[in-house]
Amino acid sequence: MSILLNVEPGVSRAPDQEPWLHELTVPEAAEIDEAFATLLASGKSDFAAGEADFPLPRVGPKLRCILRSLEDEPGFALVRGIPVAGKSEHEVRRLYWGLGMYLGVPLIQNNSDSHMVDIRDEGRAGRLRVHSSNQHIGFHIDSTDIVGLLCRRAAAHGGTSLVVSAEAVRREISWVYPDLLPALYEPLPFADVASPDEHHPDFFLCPVFGRHEGRTTTRFYLRRILRSQDNSAAPRLTDRQRRAIEAVEEIAARPDLVTAMEFQPGDLQLINNHLVLHGRTTFDSEEADTGRHLLRMWWSVPSSRPLPPEFEAAWGTREPGTLRGAARRWQLHGEFGEFQRRQADELGVVIPA
């Protein structure tokens, strides 16, 4: 599927290059390395650092242009050429943190207070999350406005990233399964990722598709919709609703709709979760210190869209440019919370009362 994208000033690409691919130049990669050296020389911890401690006069504006472009189709981007080669895992984490200061307010992602999550095979697959395994992950959205995946090491075989437009999926369902589409606008139960007990998860209600101000917004994760049924208080899924959510997974995987990305070390994938579904293929399991390793961050961003009213329960607020997503009880605590407040103030992200 060919997608045209309006390119903002400062974001350039070759005429024959995919609209979502942004390759850093040698001077731009060098600027990141220089910023990294500045951060190390400052002696500051990640939570005490600011943009001045990771100066990116050229790359910073470029990243922000790319970020703003994610509010329109295709809603995802791949920044290639982040200088990770020769750096230790700890050093790559600090470099990624520095880049993240130009993108948004980071969010805690789990009950362990992790703001940067490892995506690698650790032989663990939970009932709600499977990123710590080498398993296939079906199409879904993450509970954040923007998710970023930085590739530290690629898989020898497999681990292909798959992304697809939610609007393209909605449109295809309207043609192929028109009788099922209304069920996807109904409030469906989702198991809450913040549940303390994944065997009897908390839940919230949200439709898969919503329309607001002429744009489609989505919330989908087949595994979590089905897992909601482990809670006896959750509404029971009807046969029509089950067929409808299975249709989303089926249509999203169609080769004419999906975009496949083979990660390389130094690739940074950015996805707007309100208009893009993503997943991955299985990959060969390898030793933890040599196998596929991505680092994931979640951000609230000043350019985020207003959400349909029926999405408020899932996100905590539907107002644009606000700190939202993940779980409210995970956020704004301790030293990390102070960093979130400073970052929100600098970027113009509103913290709801």
- Rounded Cα distance between 145 and 271, Å, is 8
Q: 71-74 contacts: CB < 8 A, separation 24 or more? A: 71/272, 71/303, 71/304, 71/305, 72/5, 72/6, 73/3, 73/5, 73/165, 73/167, 73/275, 74/3, 74/5, 74/19, 74/20, 74/163, 74/165, 74/259, 74/276
Cα angle: 90, vertex 92, 98; to 5 degrees: 110
Dihedral of CA atoms 330, 333, 336, 339 in degrees, nearest 10, equals 110
C-beta separation of 11 from 23 below 8 A: no
Encoding tokens for residue 121? 């095979």
Expressed in percent and rounded to 5, the helix, strand and coil fractions of the chain are 30, 20, 50
**3-class DSSP assignment, residue 8:** coil
Backbone angles phi, psi at 148, to 5 degrees: -120, 135
Q: Of 7, 10, 128, 142, nearest to 72 (Cα)?
A: 7
Is the preceding omega at residue 83 within 30 degrees of 0, hence cis?
no
- Map tokens 């992602």 to a residue: 109
Three-state DSSP state, 281: coil
What pLDDT sits at residue 134?
74
Q: What string of pLDDT tens digits covers the 353 residues of the chain?
A: 333 333 333 444 444 568 999 999 999 999 999 999 999 999 999 999 999 999 999 999 999 999 999 999 999 999 999 999 999 999 999 999 999 999 999 999 998 889 999 998 776 655 555 656 777 899 999 999 999 999 999 998 889 999 999 999 999 999 999 999 999 999 999 999 888 887 889 999 999 999 999 999 999 999 999 999 999 999 999 999 999 999 999 999 999 999 999 999 999 999 999 999 999 998 887 666 778 999 999 999 999 999 999 999 999 999 999 999 999 889 999 999 999 999 999 999 999 98
DSSP for 94-134, please give it.
HHHHHHHTTT-EE---STT--SSEEES--S---SS--TTSS
What is the length of the chain? 353
The structural domains of the chain, ordered by start, are 21-159+264-274+284-347 (3.60.130.10), 166-252 (no CATH)
Confirm whether pTM is higher than 0.85.
yes
Please tell me the predicted confidence (pLDDT) of residue 195. 87
Best CA proximity match to 65, nearest among 264, 340, 301, 319: 301
Amino acid occupying residue 95: L
| Per-residue confidence (pLDDT) for residue 130, from 0 to 100 | 63
CA distance 279 to 274: 15
Q: Given the DSSP bridges, would you call strands 146-153 and 267-272 parallel, antiparallel or unpaired?
A: antiparallel
